[in-house]
A and B are shown apart, each in its own frame.
Chain A
Amino acid sequence: MSTRAKELVALLAIVVLAVIAYIRKVGGAGPIEFSSTMSVVVICLIALSLLWILVLTIKGRLIGRRVVFIYVGVAVSLPLFMSLTQKVSPSPEVIQLYDAITELPEGSKVLISFDYDPPSAPELQPMAESIIRLCMQRDLKVIMMGLWPQGPQQANLAVEKVFEDTAITNKGLKYGVDYVNLGFQTGNEFVIQRMGSSFESMFSTDYEGTPYQELPLVRNVKNFSNIDYSVNLSAGFPGTVEWVQVAVDRYGVQLGAGNTAVQAPQMYVYLDAGQLKGLVGGMSGASEFEDLAEYHGKGTKYMLSQSFAHVVVIAFILIGNVAFFLGGRKSALKGQEP
């Protein structure tokens, strides 16, 4: 069978599986879910096949990159159907952000800036949902905005998700009074700088077009001095770095951040210096925050996939190094396929 034919077969199999899962969901049969025993059996089979690959590698037969792709695909997708739970250990930086929010007195104003777009949403949206949920649960006032054009739309999606919880809906929260979406403003860090003197100069209307002065929640919010805590959810520029450099350094804003896993390492410098009061990094950070907030959302659900993916990548790194040390040095160094 040619490589192209194999790729087409694999694609067809994925499409068939997706259609079956969709038909089950639409038909009311609920999502496909493996039992705990089935999940353990699947994990054992994957582990055994990885061992087999290791044996093949020791024998001098290197595997191709397509095999790695298949394993990553399986490691990411299969756990979505598993009912296993993992013990999450919240890191100090996530606890710091959680504490910063929970220590705020009732009625405090929390500014959340949505500086990301859909590509980063799988990591940042779970954070957004659990942070907004926690704020609303604790009767804090939520002011949302975005320095990225799609940010405010992501904010609305997060609020919609939070309102699916009856405990939040029953609170009878009102738009403009308990939470507000100020929308997007172009200008990157200059927007933050102008907000330091006047929020209204940057957001004359909210996302819906309602004038700033007609929104009871922000009517008396002049600048950062009226904000009790800020959270920046960022996937790049403009994002946390700009918020720290302008809002924190210049205006003394109390800032916590939620970043993609790729961006988070850069923020530890600000965290150590005390410029950031809390950091939630990547999907793992989101699941830790959900664990603290006692809310098991997307972060917790997707964390099993991430755990599997990490283990599979580590396994392949080990296999690659075995190949490197046991004779296959030349081809391994060049990354050649057998």
Chain B
Amino acid sequence: MRREIPLLITAIVGIVFVIAYFIPHWPFGKMSGWFSDWFSIVQGCAIILGALNLMKLSLIKVMDRKEDWGYAAVIIVTFLIVVVSGAYEGEEFRNPGTSFDWLYQFVYIPLSATMFAILAFFVASASYRAFRARNFEATLLLIAAFFVMIGRVPVGYTLSSFMPEGWYLSDLASWVMNVPQAAGQRAIMIGIGLGIVSTSLRIILGLERSHIGGGD
């Protein structure tokens, strides 16, 4: 029963959602609404479960002095600081001037932005070391990248401002994005879409069972 019930729930919910997409009337529209609400409730609980699980794993790591346990200790301390500051401030914990808002604005935002900004250095270094015109395809990619990189910033417009209208670097970049790039994206998305349809059918029919923690 531990396997059959989850499979049955998956099948019923999946079939109802498919039907409700085409026939959004009673009873399918109503059922689809219930299932959407249940999904939100389950996801809300999963967030709490995830946070508690993170704490449990981090505590075990610290207590057992496993490799890199210091990072786990940082997770526990920062988690507690944020939770305590939020609880201390009460219902209006997100309002400007609260300690929670201070942590958000002056710790969380700068740290997150810094982590993301580091990508610029890695992209530049990787481009320098690996972006080579090794063959025809790589050369094509290199040329397209050149036009997009220079055409998407104002300096590209400035450099090509002597050209006739419609032939600026920014226009070339727009053409690359709208024509060959969009065609490639469309092909990828159709492939992904077909993959999703076949995987979803396998899940609804109970042929794919990895989501309930087991093989076929």
**Residues of A in contact with B (beta carbons under 8 Å apart):** 65, 68-69, 71-73, 76, 86-89, 91-92, 117-122, 150, 153, 156-157, 160, 185-188, 190-191, 193-194, 197, 201-202, 207-209, 250, 261, 265-266, 268-269, 271-272, 282, 284, 287, 303, 306-307, 309-314, 316-317, 319-321, 324-325, 332-333, 335
The answer to whether B168 and A89 touch across the interface, beta carbons within 8 angstroms, is yes
In-complex Cβ contact of A121 among B113, B161, B170 (8 A):
B113
**Bound state CA distance, A333 and B14, in angstroms?**
50
Known pairs A310-B153, A317-B127; A160 contacts B96 (CB<8 A): yes
Known pairs A88-B157, A310-B152; A117 contacts B121 (CB<8 A): no
Known pairs A86-B154, A87-B157, A89-B157; A117 contacts B112 (CB<8 A): yes
The answer to whether B185 and A265 touch across the interface, beta carbons within 8 angstroms, is yes
The answer to whether B36 and A187 touch across the interface, beta carbons within 8 angstroms, is yes
**Bound state CA distance, A124 and B72, in angstroms?**
31
Chain-A contact segment, one of B38-46, B57-65, B77-85, B201-209? B38-46
Instruction: Decide if B136 is an interface residue (CB 8 Å cutoff).
Output: no
The answer to whether B37 and A69 touch across the interface, beta carbons within 8 angstroms, is no
User: What is the chain B residue whose CB lies nearest that of A89?
Assistant: B157
Q: How many interface contacts (CB-CB < 8 Å) are there between A and B?
A: 164
Query: How many residues of chain B get a CB closer than 8 Å to chain A's CBs?
Result: 59
In-complex Cβ contact of A119 among B94, B113, B123, B185 (8 A):
B113
**Bound state CA distance, A242 and B112, in angstroms?**
24
Interface of chain B, helix or strand or loop or mixed? helix
**Bound state CA distance, A312 and B153, in angstroms?**
13
Given A311-B153, A314-B146; 16 other pairs, CB 8 A cutoff = A68-B121, A89-B170, A121-B109, A186-B47, A188-B43, A190-B40, A194-B33, A269-B185, A284-B154, A307-B154, A310-B150, A310-B155, A316-B128, A320-B131, A325-B133, A333-B132
**Bound state CA distance, A265 and B144, in angstroms?**
13
Known pairs A186-B44, A269-B189, A314-B146; A287 contacts B127 (CB<8 A): no
The answer to whether B121 and A324 touch across the interface, beta carbons within 8 angstroms, is no
- Chain B residues, CB < 8 A from A186: 40, 43-44, 47
Minimum distance in angstroms from B49 CB to a CB of chain A: 13
**Bound state CA distance, A209 and B92, in angstroms?**
9
- Chain B residues, CB < 8 A from A332: 129, 132
**Bound state CA distance, A266 and B44, in angstroms?**
29
Minimum distance in angstroms from A77 CB to a CB of chain B: 11
**Bound state CA distance, A309 and B154, in angstroms?**
12
Known pairs A250-B21, A268-B182, A287-B154; A316 contacts B124 (CB<8 A): yes
- Chain B residues, CB < 8 A from A335: 129-130
The answer to whether A197 and B155 touch across the interface, beta carbons within 8 angstroms, is no
B99-121: contact bitstring with A at CB < 8 Å (1 yes, 0 no)? 00000110011001101110011
- Chain B residues, CB < 8 A from A188: 43
**Bound state CA distance, A310 and B151, in angstroms?**
10
- Chain A residues, CB < 8 A from B125: 65, 68-69
**Bound state CA distance, A48 and B187, in angstroms?**
44
**Bound state CA distance, A160 and B161, in angstroms?**
38
Instruction: Decide if B29 is an interface residue (CB 8 Å cutoff).
Output: yes
